[in-house]
Structure formats: C-alpha cells, structure tokens
Amino acid sequence: MQTEFDRYKKEADFVAFKTIHERTRDFGVRDGKPDSLSEFDDQGLLIEVMRNGHMGYSATCETTPEGIKQAFAQAIAMTDASSKYPVFKFDKQIRPGSKGKYQTETKKSLDSLSLAAVYDYLKKTSLALKTSDQIISTSSDAMIITCKQKYLSSAGADFEQSFDIVINSMSATAQKGSETQTRSLHGGRGNCRQVGAEHFQLDSALRECDSISREAIELLSAENCPSETCDLILAPDQMLLQIHESIGHPLELDRILGDERNFAGWSFVQPQDFGTLKYGSPLMNIVFDPTVSDELASYGFDEIGNPAQRKYLIQNGILKAGLGSLESQMRSGLSGVANARSSSWNRAPIDRMANINLEGGDLTLDEMISKVENGVIMFSNKSWSIDDYRRKFQFGCEYGKKIENGKLTKTLKNPNYRGVTVPFWNNLVGLTKPDSVETYGSPYCGKGEPSQIIRVGHSSPYALFKNIEVFGGG
Amino acid sequence: MKTDILSYFKKFSAASFSLLESNEDLAMNLHSEESDFIRFSQSKVRQNTTVQQHEVTLQYQKDQRVYRIKFNLTLDFEQDTAKVKSVLSQLRIELPQTDPSPQFVPIVNNGSSETFKKAERPSTADVIAIIGSTFTDADLAGLWCSGPLRQASVNSKGQFHYFETDYFFFDYSIYDGPRAAKSFYAEDSWNLKNFIEIAQQAKNTLALLKKPSLKIQPGQYKTYLGPMAVAEVLGLFNWRALSQSSFKQGFAPLKKLAEKETLMSDKFTLVENLNLGYSTPFNSLGEIGPKELVLIKNGHLDNLLTSTATATEYKLESNYADPSESMRSPEVKPGHLKEQDALKNLGTGLYLSNLHYINWSDIQTARITGMTRFACFWVENGEIQGPIQDMRFDDSLFNLFGKNLIDLTETQHVYTDTATYLKRSLGAMKVPGMLLQAMNFTL
Ligand SMILES: [Zn+2]
C-alpha cells in the first residue's frame, strides 16, 4: 500500500490512504443447535483528497493498482465538482501527521479461537439457559472481531491500529399462557468490549445462564410495573442507553452544526451552551475516554490522526465540551475531541462517540436502595426511542424490582420510563461508588448519510433519579 | 478499463464451483454497487464519497451443516479465487466439528434470470450544480445517492439469477430555523421540471410553518398520518412482527391477530408486492415466490413471512420469504379519502407528515412509541392553526390499524428504500395516508 500511496500523495493539496481489514465471526446457537454461523472478511481502501479546501472521498475494494487508479481519479473528479459548493473551506490542520501504534491488550489472541471451540461454548451456554419447560427459546451468540487499520497521509501521518473485540450475548424467552418474557445478558448486544480469547470463561457464563433463565421465568408471574411518578434506580446496563441517547448524541458537534438534520436529527444543545448549560445535577461527571484499556471504543488515534485523549464533557453538571472532530472544531470554533470515525473503508469519517462514561459517586448499592421510600429499579435495556432534538425519551427495560421503604420487594415486568433530557439529569441524586462501575457498549450506533454503524462504549455506576414517570405494559 | 461485473462474476462463480468436492454444495450471492453519495448541509456539499463495493457471500453446505462467509472481490481473479480456496480448505476442517442445522435446506437450482434496469439521470457533477442552484433560497440537508447496483443469487446446482439496476434518489429536508419540511425525489427517469416542482412543494410547506408553534398537551387526538408517517410505522411491521421464525421464538406482537383474539380494521390490507419492481424478483436463495403475497387482508392475518429455512425447522409451508423474513416490497392498499381533502376530513386534530424513531414499547400488546417530526400541525375546523412542538406517541398497532382507523387515502406514494447502512438497500414501499379517530400522545 505504501508504494501505491507514494504514487498519488502529491496529486492533491492533501492525500490520505486508509486501509481496513476487519474479520467478524458471528456465531449463533439457538436451543443447543446451530442458528447461524457466518463470517465477514471486510477489506478495502478509503482515499481522502483535499481540493480547494474541500475534503472528498473515494472508497474501493478493488485494491489492485488499476482499481486504486480509478478510485483516485474519481476522488479528484467528484471532489473538484463538490468543491464549487463547499459547506466550509478547511485548511490542512484538520489532518495531523500523527505516527504510532495502538493495539488491544489481550492475554490470548482471538485468532486462536477455532469455530469448534466457540461453538462448544455457545452450545453449552444455550443449553444451560433452558432450566425449565417454560423456556421456549434460548440463544447464545458471539461476535468475534479483529480489525486492522492503517493510515498514511501526505501530511506525514503513518499509524496502525489493531482492535480485538468480543460481543457476547445470551437470552432466554419464557412463556406461560399468553405471557411471554425475555431476559438477556445485559440486554441485546450490550455485553461487548475489547478483549482476547480469555473472555470465554465457561464456568462464570454458566452461572449467568442460570440467573438469566430464572429471571425470565420469574417475570412470567410478575406484576406489571405500576404507572406512577417515583424514584428510579437505573442499573449500569440501562444507563448505557441513557448516556448514549441523551448525552452522547446531543453533544455531537456535527449534529449541532446541522449536518445530521435530515437523518438522525439536530440537537437541543446550542453552541453558546458550552461552559454554561446546567445539563444535570452537580453529581454528574461525564468523560469522553478512548484511552480505557478494555472498553469497546478505545483507540490511539481517531481515523484522521487526532491523538486520543480523555476529556470532561460535563463536569459537576455543567456542559464543558462537545463531541466534535478537528473539522467540526474548525467550523464551530468550539473545543472538541478526537472522534472522527467511520464504520469501515467505504464511509467518510464523521463526528462520533467513542467511550462516553459516567463517573462513580459515594454510595453503595444498598445505601442507594435504602434512601428510596417508593421507587423502582430497572435492569437491561430492551426498548429505546428519543426525538430528533434528543429531548423527549422513552426507554424500556427487561426486569424491574419495586423498592418500598428502603428495601427491594416484588419483581416487576415491562418496566418503562419516560422523561425530558435536561430535567431528567437534573433529578440525578445519587451514584454508586467507582468500584461498582460496569462497562458495556453497543456495536450498533447508527448515524450519517450515507449511513454508518459504529461501536461505542459506555461505563456507568448505578444511578438514582427523583420524580420520574414510570409505567408498565398492557 | 472498467471490468464488466456480470462477466467477471460468471467466471468467478464457475471457478469457485469447480473447486467443490462431490458431497459439497455452494450458493453464492453478489452485491455490487458503484455509488455516488453526496451529502448536503446548508444547501452545500458537506461530504462527497464514491464507493466501489463488490461483496460476495458464499454459503457452503455439507452434511446438513451450513456456513456463510462474505468478502469483497478485488476483481483480481487469482486473488479472489485464492480466497475461495482458502475458505474451502478451512471449512472442510472446521465445519464438521459443529452440529447439523435444524434449518438445513439442500441447495437446488431455482432457475436462471437476468434483469437490467436503468434510470436516466444527469451526471452527479451536474446534479451537484442543480441542487446548489435550486436551493439557494433554502437551508437544505440531505443525501443524493446514485449509481449501478447489482445483485445475484447463483449456486453450484446451476442456478443463476442476476439483477442490475441503476437508480437515484434525493432524500432531503429544508429548514427555517427549527422549522422543517421533508421531501424526497426519485423517478424512473430524471425530470428537472418534476424535481423543481417537488422542491417548490417543500418550500410551500415550510412557509405554512411560519405561524407560532403550539404546545399540545398529551392526550388522545384525531390524527391524519401523511404517507411518509405511514411508511415509518410500516417499518415496525418489518421489525420482526411478520417473521414466522420470530413468531415461533416468542417475539410475536401480532400474536393476538394470528390467534384471532383481535382483528384489525377491514380497511387495512398489507401485501408483499414484488410487482412494484424495486427489488430483485428472487430472494437471496434465488427462490421466486408469489408476486403478491397477502400478509394482512381486511384486518385478518393471512400469512407470516415464512422462509424455506423456517418452514423446514417448524415443518410449515414456505412462502419463499427472504431468509431475513422481512418485507422487501410492502404495499398498504388504498382507501377512499381524497388526499387533497386531508385537512377537511381531519376537522380538528393533528396533521402529522412524519414520525421518527419508532420502537416497540410493549411487544405483547403491539404497542409502539415514537416521535412526531418535521412538518406537523394542529388543525381546527380544517384550518392549520400552527406547527406543533414535537410530541411522543405510545399506542398499539391494534388501535392504529384497528378500531381507530377511519379510512386511508385513495392516493398511494412510492418510497424507494433509502437505507445505506453498510451498503445500499434495494426495495420500496407503497403507502397511502391514514385518518385516525384517535392516537395516543404521552409526552
Ligand atoms: Zn447511537
């Protein structure tokens, strides 16, 4: 690729070549039998060129000299046509000349995992999920991803990143009469991180299967979550969605700048809100942190070579900074982060979340529960919806418990809640300690035109909110 | 010299099949696109991306076991066939160590076909200039997408189905501060007059939004859903609600309908209609099912989408649904309302042109929640009073398409699939507008 890059690097004001080779093995076992065994070996090249201050892109999987020649010619032609109507004239500062390497820390390589080994793990866990005849369906899935990125630019950038990822999910569906309930390991695909083959620990997974399955059955005879306004404790595996939808997306500077209006939406956050908006209660500290070793969206550089750094987005409840790449920073004059990312070689980088984390507080979970006279605790996301300005949300969880006079009492099915972003976060009154923080993520954050799916990480403690509207199914 | 993809794929697939041993079978899918994506913001170009993407999926079958592997063709024949060789030798060792699949369907020859379609259109460079000059008086955000797209389903039993199209769409919205109107232009052949007329309609809608916005309290309101809003709701039917396999596994929002515990309105008929012509006539296995498959007929559930794999597992009859068991070409049949009388028929209530971010809120009662978006109005006595602040709804499909459905419009609109996650999606939906006696708003 170096030879090919050298051939073209002087042919525009700026030229970069990014190669991606990502192998995803996605294996699913249902009721102890193969459901889907599949693999995606994705390879290609993204060419970036700057002409007249406008950045344009051409992507190809034809990584032959002839294919690259055609792709480069298309990059120039389309970028020239587009540069007559540019949103903004950039300069070369938006593409730093970074050099270096990033690699996921692993104890055992993911490549060492054979299909047979993973299949065996999934089969055993899938069978362990069926603890009763009331369980009508069980599934156990693993996505095992190795991704290698290389970036070369005419500004001197030369860096390589290598990511090892496991997304492991399990679920059990129970049925009795007309009632059907599903319980899963931290909701959908929430259980994901950068890790090696050491992720697959059968003994602990079998224990988790047992509790997932029992809770699914327990939900069959549970009461519906009541409709009332009360205290609400959210477990970290729901907080991941709450953080993602009501903090991550509205803070993306390209949304605030209006690029996303036709698709994912705009934002209630205005440029002048940075430094002043009281986003939440003083307990609220949110960091952008791609430097955590095992979280899903950790990296050394964003995909245009901006070195990754930890940064407070919200500190003591006050909005400090947005999620904007070097391009959005230049357009808006606001401070941002290293977050220009794309879903693969065939899409241009845009402003993205990486790991967006809520820091811990000073309570144990027992202390937090003991503070609640009347409330509900909810676990594991199952439904999500929010408006295009990221104000009015409604989320549903798999499993709930009533809290009465400081104690957990009966199990609740179909727990849901709704609210409005800023008042909701201002009702945050308690967080559990840093040692209770749990780390999850999502492999499926959608955004962009053309659309892109990207991986994000979210870690959070348990969080207590006052006066929230909760309700059940039916 | 550009490689001709069809000839290359013929050569590549034949070479791949020749590598098989006697008890092995291979099915192969192609998705090849040459796409221009021009992303607009503030009526100017934010990003331009051209993409050459040729994805093949090999479905390898042996001894009742199935493995699928997808990779990109480089169009270097040696390199691409070497990849197939290495995949096959790996699978020969690894796959026997798994169990037989309960959904195993032997590969058979489902015939051969070649379909070619092409929409006439200006060059993308010209389109950029046209859009730039048509919307100088507006603040536009959106996506132009155009170019060839090819899909094929072939196999080692001799099947060869190939579909090639070249089409475009411009999916956009225009803004006056926070006020917005959504629009969409796609046609079998580009027509500048139509393009400008549709743009003008969006500008006219935006002008209607000038009045001060109204905050409507949560509650039940008589509601008109425009065709784009209906298309959004239809998306939920495609979120596992009509999948036989999901149904059997307990994800069954339409269970009460299937068990005739409840009915939807006799005005509501939903058909998978491949005659619309926007998707391949064959599914990804190469099966050719009925051109029209009625899913919900006058409020009764007639069919769930049942793939041959699901049919095998549960001993049912296949209706040749795609293995994903989602609709490729849904059509909601029209009603009797005149579209131009929408405000008059609504009288007093909410006129919603678009909805956003819909999800299940209670699967067992088919309850869905989502938001209003873009041009939505409060109407009194057939007159627009002003745009509304965004509202959240939470209501059951059994209400919306059941007792609360007054009627549908006699005009239907076709929306080509604009999804571009990972790659472009083929397909379209054809929907009318809907007038509802009540819709439940919660926030
Ligand atoms: Zn997201």
Helix (H), strand (E), coil (C) string for chain A: CHHHHHHHCCCCCEEEEEEEEEEEEEEEEECCEEEEEEEEEEEEEEEEEEECCEEEEEEECCCCHHHHHHHHHHHHHHHHHHCCCECCCCCHHHCCCCEEEEECCCCCCHHHCCHHHHHHHHHHHHHHCCCCCCEEEEEEEEEEEEEEEEEEECCCCEEEEEEEEEEEEEEEEEEECCEEEEEECCCCCCCEEECCHHHCCHHHHHHHHHHHHHHHHHHHCCEECCCEEEEEEECHHHHHHHHHHHHHHHHEHHHHCCCCCCCCCCCCCCHHHCCCCECCCCCCCEEECCCCCCCCCCCCECCCCCECCCEEEEECCEECCCECCHHHHHHHCCCCCCCEECCCCCCCCEECCCEEEECCCCECHHHHHHCCCEEEEEEEEEEEEECCCCCEEEEEEEEEEEEECCEEEEEEECCEEEEEHHHHHHCEEEEECHHHCEEEEEEEEEECCCCEEEEEEEEECCEEEEEEEEECCC
User: Could you list the residue range(s) of the whole structural domain that residue A361 is in?
Assistant: 224-471
Mark whether B196 and B218 lie in a shared domain. Answer: no
| pLDDT higher than 70, residue A441 | yes
Closest CB from A261, A343, A473 relative to B364: A473
Mark whether A298 and A364 lie in a shared domain. Answer: yes
- Average of per-residue pLDDT values in chain A: 97
How remote is the CA of residue A442 from the centroid of ligand 1, in Å? 8
Distance from CA of A416 to the nearest CA of B (A): 8
Torsion angle in degrees (nearest 10) through CA of A274, A279, A284, A285:
-20
DSSP states along B348-374? SEEEEEEEEEEEEEEGGGTEEEEEEEE
Please count the structural domains in chain A: 2
Q: What is the CATH number of the domain that holds A138?
A: 3.30.2290.10
d(CA B231, CA B229): 5
Mark whether A35 and A70 lie in a shared domain. Answer: yes
Tens digits of residue pLDDT in B330-360? 999 999 999 999 999 999 999 999 999 999 9
pTM: 0.97
d(CA A172, CA A380): 13
Mark whether A196 and A232 lie in a shared domain. Answer: no
CA A109, A114, A120, A122 dihedral sign is positive
What the block records as the tokens of B385 is: 């009073």
Q: Please report the number of interchain residue pairs, chain A to chain B, with beta-carbon separation below 8 angstroms.
A: 268
Distance from CA of B223 to the nearest CA of A (A): 19
How remote is the CA of residue A115 from the centroid of ligand 1, in Å? 31
Other Cβ atoms less than 10 A from the Cβ of A320: the count is 19
B2 confidence band (pLDDT: 50, 70, 90):
confident
CB A261 within 8 A of CB B139: no
Judging contacts by C-beta atoms under 8 Å, the chain B residues touching residue A115 are: 94-95, 97-98
| pLDDT higher than 80, residue B90 | yes
Mark whether A170 and A280 lie in a shared domain. Answer: no
d(CA B386, CA B380): 10
Mark whether A209 and A336 lie in a shared domain. Answer: no
Mark whether B181 and B218 lie in a shared domain. Answer: no
d(CA A74, CA A71): 5
B64-91: burial string, b at 16+ Cβ within 10 Å, e else = ebbbbbbbbbbbbeeebbebbeebbebb
C-alpha closest to that of A463 among A379, A382, A383: A379
d(CA B58, CA B27): 6
Mark whether A193 and A340 lie in a shared domain. Answer: no
d(CA B347, CA B99): 62
Mark whether A153 and A238 lie in a shared domain. Answer: no
Q: Searching chain A, which residue's CA lies closest to the CA of residue B61? A: A37
The mean pLDDT of B130-140, rounded to a whole number, is 94
Helix (H, G, I), strand (E, B), or coil: what is residue B246? helix
- The rounded Cα A239 to chain-centroid distance in angstroms is 12
B423 confidence band (pLDDT: 50, 70, 90):
very high
What the block records as the tokens of B14 is: 């034949």
What the block records as the tokens of B10 is: 């013929």
Judging contacts by C-beta atoms under 8 Å, the chain B residues touching residue A386 are: 357, 371
Given A221, A244, A267, which residue is the final one in a domain? A221
Give Cα separations from A349 to A239, A328, A447, B33, B401 (angstroms): 27, 12, 11, 20, 41
Mark whether A377 and A460 lie in a shared domain. Answer: yes
The mean pLDDT of A367-381, rounded to a whole number, is 98
Mark whether B218 and B202 lie in a shared domain. Answer: no
Strands A99-103 and B428-441: unpaired
Given B157, B184, B206, which residue is the final one in a domain? B206
Mark whether B199 and B251 lie in a shared domain. Answer: no
Judging contacts by C-beta atoms under 8 Å, the chain A residues touching residue B75 are: 62, 64, 67
The mean pLDDT of A374-388, rounded to a whole number, is 97
Mark whether B139 and B270 lie in a shared domain. Answer: no
pLDDT given for residue A474 in this prediction: 86
The mean pLDDT of A140-153, rounded to a whole number, is 98
Mark whether B105 and B186 lie in a shared domain. Answer: yes
B297 DSSP β-pair partners = B300
Mark whether A195 and A181 lie in a shared domain. Answer: yes
Mark whether A202 and A245 lie in a shared domain. Answer: no
Q: DSSP class of residue B281? A: S
Judging contacts by C-beta atoms under 8 Å, the chain B residues touching residue A330 are: none
Given B155, B173, B206, which residue is the final one in a domain? B206
| pLDDT higher than 80, residue B429 | yes
Mark whether B157 and B253 lie in a shared domain. Answer: no
What the block records as the tokens of A422 is: 């800023």
Other Cβ atoms less than 10 A from the Cβ of B63: the count is 10
d(CA A341, CA A402): 41
Please count the structural domains in chain B: 2
* Chain A contact probe: residue of B50, B76, B422 with most A CBs at under 10 A: B50
**Chain A residues 428-447 with a CB less than 8 Å from chain B:** 446
Mark whether A108 and A230 lie in a shared domain. Answer: no
Determine, for residues A74 and B50 on separate chains, whether the beta-carbon distance falls below 8 Å.
yes
pLDDT given for residue A280 in this prediction: 98
| Residue appearing with tokens 């290359």 | B8
- Average of per-residue pLDDT values in chain B: 97
Tens digits of residue pLDDT in B364-390? 999 999 999 999 999 999 999 999 999
What the block records as the tokens of B361 is: 């809120």
B174 DSSP β-pair partners = B140, B181
Helix (H, G, I), strand (E, B), or coil: what is residue B178? coil
What the block records as the tokens of B1 is: 């010299």
Given A221, A236, A255, which residue is the final one in a domain? A221
* Chain B contact probe: residue of A20, A126, A129, A261 with most B CBs at under 10 A: A261
Given A205, A221, A237, which residue is the final one in a domain? A221
Q: Searching chain A, which residue's CA lies closest to the CA of residue B39? A: A449
Closest CB from B54, B97, B249 relative to A61: B54
Strands B160-176 and B112-116: parallel
| pLDDT higher than 70, residue A275 | yes
Determine, for residues B51 and A59 on separate chains, whether the beta-carbon distance falls below 8 Å.
yes
A121 confidence band (pLDDT: 50, 70, 90):
very high
User: Could you list the residue range(s) of the whole structural domain that residue B21 is in?
Assistant: 5-206
C-alpha closest to that of A437 among A385, A359, A373: A359
- What percentage of chain B reaches a pLDDT higher than 70? 100
Given B178, B206, B234, which residue is the final one in a domain? B206
Tens digits of residue pLDDT in B253-289? 999 999 999 999 999 999 999 999 999 999 999 999 9
Give Cα separations from A158 to A7, A151, A291 (angstroms): 16, 6, 20
B258-295: burial string, b at 16+ Cβ within 10 Å, e else = eeeebbbbebbbbbbbbebebbbebbbbbbbbeeebbb
d(CA A408, CA A412): 11
CB A109 within 8 A of CB A133: no
| Residue appearing with tokens 């929640």 | B369
Mark whether B202 and B215 lie in a shared domain. Answer: no
| Residue appearing with tokens 């400081």 | A406
What the block records as the tokens of B62 is: 């042996």
Q: For the packed helices B77-94 and B5-17, what is the interaxial angle rounded to 10 degrees?
A: 40
ipTM: 0.97
d(CA B274, CA B331): 9
Closest CB from B36, B42, B74 relative to A67: B74
B201-214: burial string, b at 16+ Cβ within 10 Å, e else = ebbebbeebeeebe
How remote is the CA of residue A230 from the centroid of ligand 1, in Å? 28
C-alpha closest to that of A402 among A179, A166, A150, A226: A226
Give Cα separations from A242 to A299, A329, A400, B153 (angstroms): 23, 26, 16, 42
B36 DSSP β-pair partners = B50, B146
How remote is the CA of residue A467 from the centroid of ligand 1, in Å? 26
Closest CB from B94, B182, B359 relative to A114: B94
CB B295 within 8 A of CB B242: yes
How remote is the CA of residue A451 from the centroid of ligand 1, in Å? 12
Mark whether B110 and B219 lie in a shared domain. Answer: no
Mark whether B256 and B308 lie in a shared domain. Answer: yes
C-alpha closest to that of B427 among B358, B324, B333: B324
pLDDT given for residue B3 in this prediction: 86
pLDDT given for residue B1 in this prediction: 67
* Chain A contact probe: residue of B46, B150, B239 with most A CBs at under 10 A: B46
| Residue appearing with tokens 């030798």 | B89
- What percentage of chain A reaches a pLDDT higher than 90? 99
Closest CB from B2, B98, B364 relative to A119: B98
d(CA A283, CA A402): 24
Mark whether A247 and A109 lie in a shared domain. Answer: no
Mark whether B191 and B232 lie in a shared domain. Answer: no
**Chain A residues 13-42 with a CB less than 8 Å from chain B:** 30, 33-42
Mark whether B234 and B202 lie in a shared domain. Answer: no
What the block records as the tokens of A134 is: 């009331």
